[in-house]
Amino acid sequence: MEELVLFIVKHLVSCPEQVSVKTEAEDDLNSIIYIKANENDLGKIIGKGGKVVNSIRTIVKTIGNKTSKRYRIKIGE
Per-position pLDDT tens, the chain of length 77: 999 999 999 999 999 999 999 999 888 899 999 999 999 999 999 999 999 999 999 999 999 999 899 999 999 85
Q: What is the pLDDT of residue 76?
A: 81
Question: Which CATH number belongs to the domain containing residue 32 in this structure?
Answer: 3.30.300.20
Q: Which domain holds residue 50?
A: 2-76
What's the pLDDT score for residue 77?
Answer: 59
Q: What is the DSSP-derived secondary structure letter of residue 23?
A: E
- Residues near 64 by Cβ (< 8 Å), separated by ≥ 6? 1, 70, 71
Query: How much is the pTM?
Result: 0.88
- Count the domains in the chain: 1
- Residue 7: the pLDDT is 97
> How far is it, in rounded angstroms, from Cα 55 to Cα 34?
16
